[in-house]
Amino acid sequence: MIWSDKGFLLSKLAFQENSIIANFYTKNHGKCSGIIYGATSKKIKNWRKYLNKSLITERDSKTKLQEYSLKTYKLLPVYKLLDNKGPRHKPLIKVSVKIKNSKNITATGNSKKEAEQKAAKKLLTSLKLS
């Protein structure tokens, strides 16, 4: 399949002798991955410089909190499921997060992942790290 779109590189991995496996995120196609044959050859040297420069490098709140907690206290953040109510197709989930020397922060979301992200973001804000 061949298509054209603007996006940014998520990751790349050497594959065989002169190829790479690349993961991209594009506006129209979302997350995509594929093998780029000959990616290490001199023919596409100019194209490779764009692969090496990801335009957007953003970490989510849970990742930032985990990195801070591990670096500072050598402990992972502790997430606890507090409540799960509502119908199955539209649940309302409440979680809390705590790291050493911090207070419990709670947040709600429509999924456990969303609630944990919100709680991590609130905790980062309270620690003045965000």
Residues 118 and 77 in one domain: yes
pLDDT of residue 80: 97
Residues 12 and 47 in one domain: yes
User: Alpha carbon of 58 to those of 13, 31, 115: distances in Å?
Assistant: 19, 15, 19
Lowest mean pLDDT: which of 13-22, 73-82, 98-107, 116-125? 13-22
CATH of the domain at 89: 3.30.160.20
Residues 44 and 91 in one domain: no
User: What's the number of domains the chain is made of?
Assistant: 2
Residues 78 and 117 in one domain: yes
pTM confidence score: 0.58
In a domain, 95, yes or no: yes
Domain end: 31, 52, 73, which one? 52
In a domain, 111, yes or no: yes
Domain limits at 44? 7-52
Q: Which of 128, 39, 68, 38 is nearest to 9 (CA)?
A: 39
pLDDT (tens digit, 9 = 90+) per residue, 22-67?
787 777 777 877 777 665 555 555 555 555 554 444 578 998 899 8
Lowest mean pLDDT: which of 31-45, 77-91, 106-120? 31-45
